[in-house]
Structure 1
Amino acid sequence: MTETMDISDYLAQGGRLTNPANVPSRYRAELMKIMATFVDSELAGAAGFADVINAGPGIKERIAAARIVLEKTDNADKVLKIMGEFGANTDRYVDHHPWTDRLPRDTAPGASRNAHDMRLSVLNYPLAGWTDAVVMNLLMGLAVGVQLSEFLSSSYQPFAEAIREAAPREKRHTELAAEGVERLIRQGKTNAVKQSVAYWWPRVSESFGTGVSPRSDALKAMGLRSKSNAELHDAWTGLASAALEKLGLERPATLA
């Protein structure tokens, strides 16, 4: 049996890798895609939120938004350093894409701007003011929590450790968003909140991709994934529906 098969068996049995020297080429390619999606999404998310910091209605709101920008950027930096160990040009990476670029707001859900930009598709859409940003951060924050849960036990140990640091931060961002939405509702902005929910729900939903992926079984065998896109999407749908219900809201009727 070849060394590659030995490693494949090791991974299939729940083994962990700790440095690039032990990583087979196919594993490396898939791991780099996953890490690039995380880094690009964090940088694009931070860039979008940076543009609305001064739209915050008060000091506390602006501090919360600034914290989100800082921590998302730091999360990206931690994983980007791991990518650098695989040969990624980290000095060039951050300037490689215009992270603030967005599609026209009326673009259909699921669209992408650039095949070389690995951000989740939802981050290709612009934020329309403070209320819109807070609602998006709530719905997407819940999605991020579900998606990161996949990587907490990643077979590439350094990546799993980076995600363990990032996950509590992202959870707090979602909690801040829930508090923000609750505050907006108390201020009589329920209709604006509902409009944003209707806009962002299908776009966040699309960020999970298709229900069946031809890569799914291979990623599971490598220890890089454990659930299908459909399973992750269902988990998000349940969490997001419950979060909206707690706030006295409903998921968009057309998607019920």
Structure 2
Amino acid sequence: MTSDTMSIERYLAEGGKLSAPENTPPRYRAELMKLMASFVDSSLAGAAGFADVINAGPGIKERIAAAKIVLEKIDNADKVLRVMADFGTDTARYANAHPWAARLPRDSDIGAKRTDQDMRLAVFNYPLQGWGDAVVMNLLMGLAVGVQLEELCRVSYQPLGDAFREIAPIERHHVDLAIEGMERLTDSADRAELQASLSYWRPRVAASFGQEQSDKFARLQSLGLRHQDNASLRQIWQTRTDETLAALGLTA
């Protein structure tokens, strides 16, 4: 490792920001590209899965909300993909690079593992079963995305941090739409079915935060790409989830 690289790492560890691809050392660039690909792939896979249940919405308002979420998740992916383009990513081919709607059998349990197809979080490999199940998943994952974006907005690559700060309020609105959808469901749907969906999705969303102890975290922290560890982020999500479900009259 050169003295120049050491100087950059110290700069990043102390909260410094990088603003252009040519300023990024190779190891930093590799980790940054993985981070961006994970977000883009998860957003495209999540949108593809939710698109399949738009017409399952019980009314026009619900279908409009679902279509809006799909559109905005694809647009959020595009915001980050434009940052990846500065590093040479072929954005024209990316949209068709993987089968975003592909899903594993419902009874699969892959923990936090990713498939060989793309960099989506493991939770986006599971299929949705109807409208109520989709709303439950969107609520739990929306709360998780909110926590993760609070972390990602602090990322040391300035253009990416700017993109995430544009995305964060959009994703917060998706949570509001999910809560509104859940309120309608708790008034009309079978609560046992909602509880079954919560039991199914909660551990899978929790797994999206990664392993409790990760050797990778220290390396990413030194590069300014991470600040809070997986366990801390998961705990924030669990607390917010419990509070949200309690307000809806549902148990965790």
Same fold (TM over 0.5): yes
Q: 1:186 to 1:146 in 2, by over 3 A?
A: same
Aligned match of 1:205: 206
1:242 and 2:243 are equivalent in the alignment: yes
Structure 2 counterpart of 1:231, one-letter code: S
Aligned match of 1:53: 54
Q: Is the 8 A contact 2:47 2:69 kept in 1?
A: yes
Q: Is the 8 A contact 2:112 2:210 kept in 1?
A: no
Q: Which runs of 5+ in 2 are unaligned?
A: none
Residue 189 (structure 1) shift: 2.5
Aligned match of 1:185: 186
* Structure 2 CA distance for aligned equivalents of residues 16 and 102 of structure 1: 38
Structure 2 counterpart of 1:164, one-letter code: R
* Structure 2 CA distance for aligned equivalents of residues 6 and 111 of structure 1: 34
Aligned match of 1:174: 175
Matching of residues 1-256 of structure 1 within 5 Å: 2-110=3-111, 112=113, 114-251=115-252
- Under a length normalisation based on structure 1, what TM-score does the superposition of the two structures give? 0.95
Structure 1 counterpart of 2:214, one-letter code: S
Q: Is the 8 A contact 1:50 1:69 kept in 2?
A: yes
* Structure 2 CA distance for aligned equivalents of residues 213 and 134 of structure 1: 31
* Structure 2 CA distance for aligned equivalents of residues 109 and 183 of structure 1: 32
Residue 188 (structure 1) shift: 3.9
Residue 137 (structure 1) shift: 0.3
| % identical equivalent positions | 59
Structure 2 counterpart of 1:13, one-letter code: E
Q: Which runs of 5+ in 1 are unaligned?
A: 252-256
- Under a length normalisation based on structure 2, what TM-score does the superposition of the two structures give? 0.97
* Structure 2 CA distance for aligned equivalents of residues 141 and 111 of structure 1: 17
Query: Does 86-95 or 105-114 show the bigger shift?
Result: 105-114
* Structure 2 CA distance for aligned equivalents of residues 113 and 37 of structure 1: 10
Q: Which aligned runs of 4 or more in structure 1 are off by greater than 4 angstroms?
A: none
* Structure 2 CA distance for aligned equivalents of residues 238 and 109 of structure 1: 24
Deviations 1:217-248 (CA, angstroms, capped at 9, x unpaired): 11111111001111111111111111111111
* Structure 1 CA distance for aligned equivalents of residues 21 and 55 of structure 2: 42
Question: Aligned residue pairs: how many?
Answer: 251
